[in-house]
Amino acid sequence: MKLWNKNVPLTTCIIMTMTLFFSTLVLASVWPAEIVVEEEETVAWIPTAEDIAYQDSMYTIIQSTQNDITDIKNDIVHILERLDYADGTWDSIRYVKGGAIDKRRNK
């Protein structure tokens, strides 16, 4: 890199420094102090009768779905309770840790 090994006269350094300083002053004087952003007036949404009817129908659908899920959960609990017998035995689909199925799966 012979470019950096050359002697640069002191006057050249002073001229470059002054040029940088004045160009910074020019940019600072032209640059705006604050950027003004004009905001549009926001208009609140006023629902129409159709919008309210649509929201009501969506709410009805959500409530119906939640009721169906609750019924399904109760049915699952009921099915699982029927797999347990009063004498303490259970159906063959029940997984027992240490049982025959467990020993076959986890050798």
pTM score of the predicted model? 0.38
Query: What would the pLDDT profile of 2-59 be if each residue is shown by its tens digit?
Result: 656 666 677 877 888 999 988 988 888 887 777 777 888 888 889 999 999 999 999 9
Q: How far apart are CA 3 and CA 12, in angstroms?
A: 15
The two tokens of residue 82 are 């029927």
Which residue reads 């159709």 in tokens? 50
- Inter-residue contact 65 to 72 (CB < 8 Å): no
Amino acid at 90: W
Query: What would the pLDDT profile of 61-73 be if each residue is shown by its tens digit?
Result: 999 999 999 999 8
